[in-house]
Amino acid sequence: MRSALLSSGGLALSTLPDPSPPPGGLLIALRACGVCGTDLEKVRGGYRATGRIGHEPAGVVRQVGEGVEGFRPGDRVFAHHHVPCYACDVCRAGAYTFCPTFQSTNLDPGGFSELFTVSRAHLDRGAVLPLPGTVSDEEGTFVEPLGCCLEAIAEVGPVEGRRVLIVGLGPIGQMYLRLLRAFGASWIGAADLSPRRRALGERGGADETFDPRDPANLRERTLRATRGLGPDLVVVATGAPAAIADACRIVRRGGTVNLFGLPEKDRVLDVELQDLYLRGVRLLPTYATTETGTSRALGLLAAGRVKVSDLVTHRFPLEQVTEAFAVAARTEEAVKVLVTASR
């Protein structure tokens, strides 16, 4: 089988032996897998965490491992890549996505593969979800990133009636925006360099969109829309330190800045700490999701409460995976790029 793997050159399409399902696990054939920003950073070498790429896959069960019940060949599924142990001190504190087991479990050899396996631990913890007929394979690739947005919203607190600014309108920013609208945010502003992404944000429910290359204009218009107070919540769906610094200046007193986008390794934040202290600004990083988030995300997709199909701008078969990554990096051109089963 063919599999896209990290290599010393960044990304390589390799030929590997066909795997077999592990005891208690599954062998899954790829239908589609989204290219995530963290995949791009891994290929660029800008992500401290190493390992596999491809964690937004929808596929079809090819074989079931010994002792597996509840799945059979032909089932369409979404497979979550990480699962926590739910027993360590980190899990007992409720920080499941920072559990060491969460970091070490994964799809094998990764989601950009013709075939990949999931372990007994994945099945035991509910990480593999059957896709209902109302959810397409392409929509299934949004289960994990949509779950990440739900995880973030659970951490920042209720959003109903709140005024929110989103900085960065890539796939995550677009999904976060649509969830905020569905959950009753009173005002949503959205900033991105790309006119195409700003227009998509407006169609997705943004009240106003901004070009962040003019921070003074962004701040002035945001303050005007929030009666001079600033947003209750600023979601930074990009890893750019300048965007994070702008968010810290724009958010209202006592407000929250949700650090969602992945910063490149070794980047530092230049903000006036006393200003954050005296204004009571809360900096809240959120990372990944668990089975609770993916299950809820799938429910929202199945019920049609959140639309995602229009976010897909490009599709490439697995044999063109390097081209898929190149296009995904061109943010003026692409929003969500999918890698699909080979022709």
Peptide bond into 109 cis (omega under 30): yes
pLDDT at 324: 98
pLDDT at 141: 98
Q: What is the dihedral sign for C-alpha 181, 182, 183, 184?
A: positive
Going along 16-87, which residue ranges are E strands?
A: 26-34, 57-64, 76-79
pLDDT at 242: 93
Residue count of the chain: 343
Q: Which run of H or E residues covers position 14? A: strand 10-15
Torsion on CA atoms 72, 17, 138, 44, rounded to nearest 10:
140
* Alpha helix stretches (DSSP H) within the chain: 37-44, 89-92, 100-104, 120-124, 137-140, 143-156, 171-182, 195-203, 215-225, 241-250, 273-279, 291-303, 321-328
Domains (range + CATH), the chain: 2-142+308-340 (3.90.180.10), 147-285 (3.40.50.720)
Nearest to 108 by CA among 11, 9, 22, 15: 22
**pTM listed for this prediction:** 0.96
Alpha-carbon 88 to chain mean position: 25
In sequence order, the 6+-apart residues with CB closer than 8 A to the CB of 95 are none
Burial class (CB in 10 A: 0-12, 13-18, 19+), 50: exposed
pLDDT at 10: 86
pLDDT at 45: 85
Distance CA 53, CA 61 (A): 20
* Alpha helix stretches (DSSP H) within 84-128: 89-92, 100-104, 120-124
Q: Which residue has the tokens 């920013």?
A: 173
CB 137 within 8 A of CB 57: no
Instruction: Calculate ∠ Cα 24-30-36, nearest 5°.
Output: 105
pLDDT at 49: 65
pLDDT at 293: 97
In sequence order, the 6+-apart residues with CB closer than 8 A to the CB of 92 are none
Local confidence pLDDT in tens for the 343 residues of the chain: 999 999 887 899 999 999 999 999 999 999 999 999 999 999 988 786 667 999 999 999 999 999 999 999 999 999 999 999 999 999 999 999 999 999 999 999 999 999 999 999 999 999 999 999 999 999 999 999 999 999 999 999 999 999 999 999 999 999 999 999 999 999 999 999 999 999 999 999 999 999 999 989 999 999 999 999 999 999 999 999 999 999 999 999 999 999 999 998 889 999 999 999 999 999 999 999 999 999 999 999 999 999 999 999 999 999 999 999 999 999 989 999 999 997 6
pLDDT at 51: 73
pLDDT at 48: 67
In sequence order, the 6+-apart residues with CB closer than 8 A to the CB of 156 are 233, 256, 258, 284, 286
